[in-house]
Amino acid sequence: MSDTTEKLVGIVLVSHSAAVAASVAELAKGLAGGGTTAPVAPAGGTPDGGLGTSAELIAAAAAAVDQGAGIAVLTDLGSAVLTVKALLAEGDELPDGARLVDAPFVEGAVAAVVTASAGADLDAVEAAAAEAYSYRKT
Amino acid sequence: MLDVDFFRRWMTATAVSVDREAQRLTDLDSPIGDADHGSNLQRGFNSVRAALEKEAPATPGAVLVLAGRQLISTVGGASGPLYGSLLRKTGKELGDAAEVTEEQLALALRAGVDAVMALGGASPGDKTMIDALVPAVDALSESFAAAKAAADEGAVATTPLQARKGRASYLGERSIGHQDPGATSSALLIGALVEAAGE
């Protein structure tokens, strides 16, 4: 029996593209398998639907997945990375326990969601996502 | 002494410059970037202008912290968190003082530039906004006009450099021969100090 009151680490996926963020979220949840999956929220593109990064969408996604167990934020590149860092530096823009995780976007997201869904803590989720860098393909 | 009105004029003058030069910034961003620098900064500084009118912050530091926050929220590109951190850090360094000296502004702005370098990981010579900001801050103890001249010169001097940070760095040697749009907009920000001072 899973404990339905267990707090899970939340995952926020920040991409320049709304479609990429949403698709990677769907992929990661799908690969995490059945049962309870950790809360995952995409924060892709700009509020008007363009390519870019939105601090507003990131803050909303973080609030949506926050169960109090910490939040792993994964990003694609450039302004996505810098915006999350700037929000974290501000202190009150993202929930307590939000952390930028250094990981490849797709593989890291899958590892993070699978690990978080198993009830792991934020350090373990971060480690699993970062470890995805070491899965060589040739 | 520089009061809150000076800092409001600085931000407003920057917004006016960015409006005027938006097309040029976007044109510079076309060969080595994604052709959105002018429109991104225009959106950001127009939002700064609106927020300053609405919230009327009471101190120099509060003006810059509010401006920085607006830029992070509204720009949508890497220049948002970079300029946002620059102004926010500079504003925090100024604290709650009702008026600050030019020397205090120079020190605070240096801390702001350090924050940009820490956030983006760029150093002088990487063909970024740092190449205009560092010489400008170095010259700021002399005068605002000297800082503007140094920033303009620093921006022009990015042309022969090869980009080592950001999207332009993917172009490698093909980034050589183009003036960096971020250094160019940084020179507008520094140039607006001269206008704010009415020099």
Q: Is residue A105 part of a domain?
A: yes
pLDDT value at residue A95: 95
Q: What value does the mean pLDDT take over residues B109-131?
A: 96
Cβ–Cβ pairs < 8 A, chains A and B: 48
pLDDT value at residue B90: 98
Contact between A131 and A111 under an 8 Å Cβ cutoff? The reply is yes
Name the helix (H) or strand (E) containing B99.
strand B99-100
Please report, rounded to a whole number, the percentage of residues in chain A having pLDDT higher than 70: 96
Q: Is A93 a catalytic residue?
A: no
pLDDT value at residue B199: 66
CATH number, domain of A22, equals 3.40.50.510
Q: To the nearest whole number, what is the mean pLDDT of chain B? A: 95
Domains of chain B (ranges, CATH numbers): 2-197 (1.25.40.340)
Q: Is residue A122 part of a domain?
A: yes
Residue range A1-27, pLDDT digits in tens: 445 568 999 999 999 999 999 999 999
A 10 A CB-CB count for B149 gives: 19
pLDDT value at residue A1: 45
- Say whether residue A7 is in contact with chain B using an 8 A CB cutoff: no
Q: Is residue A4 part of a domain?
A: no
Q: Is residue A5 part of a domain?
A: no
- Per the structure, the complete domain to which residue A128 belongs is given by 10-134
Please report, rounded to a whole number, the percentage of residues in chain A having pLDDT higher than 90: 86
Contacts of B166 in chain A (CB under 8 A): 78
pLDDT value at residue A35: 79
Which of A10, A11, A12, A16 is flagged as catalytic?
A16
Task: Write phi, then psi, for A93 (nearest 5 degrees).
Answer: -85, -30
Q: What is the ipTM of this complex?
A: 0.86
Cα–Cα distances (Å) from B164 to B37, B72, B82, in that order, read: 18, 23, 16
Q: Is residue A1 part of a domain?
A: no
Closest CA to A106 of A5, A36, A8, A17: A17
Residue B179 reports pLDDT greater than 90: yes
Q: Is residue A3 part of a domain?
A: no
Count: domains in chain A: 1
Amino acid at B40: N
Closest CA to A63 of A102, A10, A110: A10
